[in-house]
Amino acid sequence: MQTLRIAAILALLLFSQVLCRPQSSDQKDDDYPGDGGKDYEDPEDLEDSDIGRGTSVSPPVILTRPLRVRVSVGTTVEFPCVVKNGDNEVIQWSKGSEPLYFGGAVMTTEPDRIFLAANNSLIVNDVTEYDTSNDWTCTVVMQPPLEIHHSLQVVNQPTQLTEHRSLAVWPAKKITVNESMGVEFGCDSQSKSRPEIKWSLKGKAIAEVPGVSSKNNYVFIEHATRHHAGVYQCLAEDRSASPEHEAIEVVVNYSPFIEVEHDTFHTGLGIISEISCEVDAHPHAHVKWFKNGNVVPQDEKLHHHEKNGKTLHKLIIEHTRKEDLGTYKCKATNDLGEASKDVVLTGAPAKPVLNHGKDRHNQKAHMIRWRVQSFSPITEYKLEYRMKGNENWIEVQPQVTDGQENNFVVESHFENLLPGVYQVRLLARNDFGWSPQSSIHEFRKEIVANAAQNVKGGSSTTRPLAALTALLVVSTRVFTCL
């Protein structure tokens, strides 16, 4: 009987299929929206396509607009070149075919008059007629290169005071102030046309510069900082093709400020090690390296070069020994004060980084994969996990496997977890000690629905249900075809 019922159901389904068959043979298969390939994306396929894909980095962009500057002999001019996403790019300045700066390398024959400031700006002091050019160029060295061209016209004689043009700066074209002091300066026009005075610094309107205010034709800095140093441009906007333009250079003397890209540098025995600190100070600071309280000898290990108006100081160890490991101090001093930063050179593993987070082979489990950099073999891992909200961590020790060059991979599988959100973190150890603790990673364990199972017995319930299901299927197919 059971076999006959199944045969009857199949017959009904076949009959409904015949009813739904297209009447015209001209209709093509691709007219049916469901006949094509997959119209969804399998999460596994998405995940596989992301494996090994690097993080996209936004390309550099020059934010500054080209300037057309007309000034008198002896004026100071600043050409801005604000580059977004360009920290790792080389910036080149040139005047026509004459190179001026290539990164931190000085190529101009007048470095005291033509020099770099913060944000890659180029400052030209005491301009002469020979500085007149339409091709003061800032270039981001890349393929293809990014360029911005500024134009400078220097007149032989100071602009005469006429009804249409007359512009003077106050109190001087160059002002020097110590940090935390206040300063005030202005730009006056004696023209009867009453031009609007517009101030800018490094390509920004003065209203956009923090800590700086303006009223009428004057600019006020209440507490000068290193960020306020630069050439302030005064433009007498009279709606002419070449409005008069003047500038005041504000020099801020400030105590050293030190930044480090990393406070811990990981290395290994027998390889080249390099630690660095970036010093910003005016006047320039004298920098010394210390290790365990002792001055590191001033020899060929020490290097420095200019970078974005700051000085990058490097300490290079050609053949690292165990006694070279430890805590180093970068100390910078000038007339206004001093600053220092500690940098650790260690042979311990670097901070573990999450590499992958889903087991493609078993949906009931969750796999975490980490990547660890170590210049010595890993001897031990310590992984801790807990359900989010719990105070106590559960500790496990993943298996240690051989790495490739200086990179090690560790995997941990989590099975039979209750549904919820979990937190996990990892430590790695080699002969020099433990790594920094990884960032806490969170993952969610979802509820997995059990697959339908065959149930024996209870035919009085299942058989009517099967018949009802078949009837609904057939009815649906018939009405669909109408």
- Per-residue pLDDT tens for 184-222? 999 888 777 788 899 999 888 999 999 999 988 899 999
Candidate ranges 295-304, 339-348, 361-370, 453-462; pick with highest mean pLDDT: 339-348
What pLDDT is recorded for position 459? 43
Which residues are CB-neighbours of 162 under 8 A, at least 6 positions away?
A: 191
Distance (Å, whole) CA 457 – CA 392: 48
What pLDDT is recorded for position 258? 96
What pLDDT is recorded for position 23? 47
What pLDDT is recorded for position 251? 92
Range of lowest pLDDT (94-98, 176-180, 445-449): 445-449
Pairing of strands 310-317, 302-307: antiparallel
Choose among 121, 130, 223, 239: nearest CA to 182. 223
The per-residue pLDDT for range 319-341, each reduced to its tens digit, is: 999 999 999 999 999 999 999 99
CATH homologous superfamily for the domain 260-346: Immunoglobulins (2.60.40.10)
Q: Note whether 425 and 384 are within 8 A (CB).
A: yes
CATH 2.60.40.10 placement within the chain: 62-155, 167-254, 260-346, 353-445
What pLDDT is recorded for position 51? 36
Candidate ranges 56-65, 100-109, 186-195; pick with highest mean pLDDT: 100-109
What pLDDT is recorded for position 328? 95
What is the percent of the chain where pLDDT is above 70?
76
Q: How confident is the model at residue 109 (pLDDT cuts 50, 70, 90)?
A: confident
Average pLDDT, the chain: 80
- DSSP helix/strand/coil, 249: strand
What pLDDT is recorded for position 9? 58
**Token duo for residue 87:** 């920290």
Q: How confident is the model at residue 450 (pLDDT cuts 50, 70, 90)?
A: low
Q: Would you say residue 41 has pLDDT above 50?
A: no
pTM: 0.59
Q: Which CATH class is domain 353-445?
A: mainly beta
Q: Which CATH architecture has domain 62-155?
A: Sandwich (2.60)
Q: Looking at domain 167-254, which of 3.40.50.620, 2.60.40.420, 2.10.260.10, 2.60.40.10 is its CATH number?
A: 2.60.40.10
